[in-house]
Amino acid sequence: MTESADATKVEWREWGQKAFDVADRAAKPVLLALVTPWSAECREMDTTTYAEPRIAANINDGFVPVRVDADRHPR
């Protein structure tokens, strides 16, 4: 993960089958965040929306949050 992701309160998982297996076992939908390290908007989401405790708690409780670096995984 990036420094920006570490600043959030969302418990992000890495892209991969393991995250989808967790979602399947927990019967929760996946919340997929496509981000790039150069995006000011992505950093803003991390430091505002995803840093908000109520929002992060709702995401963590209701979803399996998965963060994908769109530059590393372009497809």
Q: Is the pLDDT of residue 7 over 90?
A: no
Number of domains in the chain: 1
Who contacts 38 (Cβ-Cβ below 8 Å, separation ≥6)? 71
Q: Residue 16: pLDDT band by 50, 70, 90 thresholds?
A: very high
In a domain, 75, yes or no: no
In a domain, 52, yes or no: yes
Mean pLDDT for the chain? 90
Q: Residue 22: pLDDT band by 50, 70, 90 thresholds?
A: very high
In a domain, 55, yes or no: yes
In a domain, 29, yes or no: yes
Please tell me the predicted confidence (pLDDT) of residue 72.
84
In a domain, 13, yes or no: yes
Range of the domain at 42: 3-69
pTM: 0.82
Residue 48 has φ and ψ, to the nearest 5°, of -120, -80
- How large is the average pLDDT for residues 25-46? 95
